[in-house]
Amino acid sequence: MMKNFFLPLILLCGFYGMAQAELNKYKYIIVPVKFEAFKHENQYQTSTLIKYNLVENGFTAVYDSDMPEDLLANRCLGLLLNLKDDSSMFTTKVTLTLKDCQSKEVYTTVEGSSKEKDFKSAYSEAIKECFKSLSGIGYKFEPTGNNAAPAVSFKNDVKRIEGRSNVEPKQSTPNPVVQQTATLEEQSYKNREPVQSNITKAEISPAKALPKVDYKTDGVGVLYAQAIANGFQLVDSTPKITLKIYATSQANFYIAEGEVHNGVVLKKGEKWYFEYYEGDKLMGQELNIKF
């Protein structure tokens, strides 16, 4: 009887140990802003919900539209998350898979399901069930020689260039200034002497100093980003919409509309800020946004 109890427990511990060792090789989990199973970006808020749950379980999750520099330089630092949708008419069923940079499947969660009629609620419940198989793994990134970001070395480059400088370059025959043909069949004369240009160098305007920002960091509450057309609305715990931010052509830079002030929301380092003008003075407020 005791053997029948301990054997599954031993196998389960061994599975979690292998899964942890495999996932610890990767620094990032890449979350698509649009999954293949859906028609629209962040449909039913699946992308934001999955990223939130990954972060809650200790993973470093990034969107595929906003990857950090080391991941862009070395795609093998991250695993790409995919959502497999096997839903039927009455039941929502999803499975999450993680694939490496060579599209090899590294990990698959348990299948999550829900019988909720509302799609948003159904996908939320099913995704949370999927994360039950990731919550107890105890992930921690362990960099090795295979998954470390590539380093560019410039050691001895100057010496190599200096060594080449001793070799005399090949002398090329310059084009003659005057080209002349004088035969019985042809007599021609072309003057190729350079003509002085009348193009003048444009004057360089002096650089204008950037305005100073008076940042406020007090009263920073959590704002939850809810997807809207072309951006997000930032909602506090009340819940109340404090800002609406709209995407621009620049990453991590949004046009912001508020009840009192309009301005921009941008990311500096690891923090978000709302910048706006009060009269002629540029003001700033630190934000704590949960996407």
Gap between the Cα atoms of 216 and 89, Å rounded: 51
**Residue-wise DSSP of 122-135:** HHHHHHHHHGGGTT
How high is the pLDDT of residue 52? Answer: 94
Supply angle C-alpha 123, 124, 126, rounded to 5: 60
pLDDT in tens, 208-234: 677 788 778 777 788 888 899 899 998
| The pLDDT of residue 152 is above 80 | no
Considering the segment(s) 2-133 as one domain, its CATH architecture is: 2-Layer Sandwich (3.30)
Q: Which helix (H) or strand (E) holds 12?
A: helix 2-23
Per the DSSP assignment, residues forming a β-bridge with 99 are 80, 105
How distant, in Å, are the alpha carbons of 74, 83, 106, 181 from that of 138? 24, 22, 16, 85
Question: 108-112, 151-155, 238-242: which has the minimum mean pLDDT?
Answer: 151-155
HSE-up of residue 190 (Cα within 13 Å, Cβ side): 8
Q: What is the pTM of this model?
A: 0.48
- For residues 31 and 47, the answer to whether their CB atoms sit within 8 Å is yes
pLDDT in tens, 60-106: 999 999 999 999 999 999 999 999 999 998 999 999 999 999 999 99
Q: What is the DSSP letter of 72?
A: H
User: For the chain, what are the domain ranges?
Assistant: 2-133, 214-290
Place of tokens 């920002």: 213
- Mean pLDDT, the chain, integer: 79
Quickly state the pLDDT bin for 279 (edges 50, 70, 90). confident
Q: Classify residue 207 as left (phi > 0), alpha (psi -120 to 50) or beta.
A: beta
Burial group, residue 111, by CB count within 10 angstroms (0-12, 13-18, 19+): middle
Quickly state the pLDDT bin for 190 (edges 50, 70, 90). low
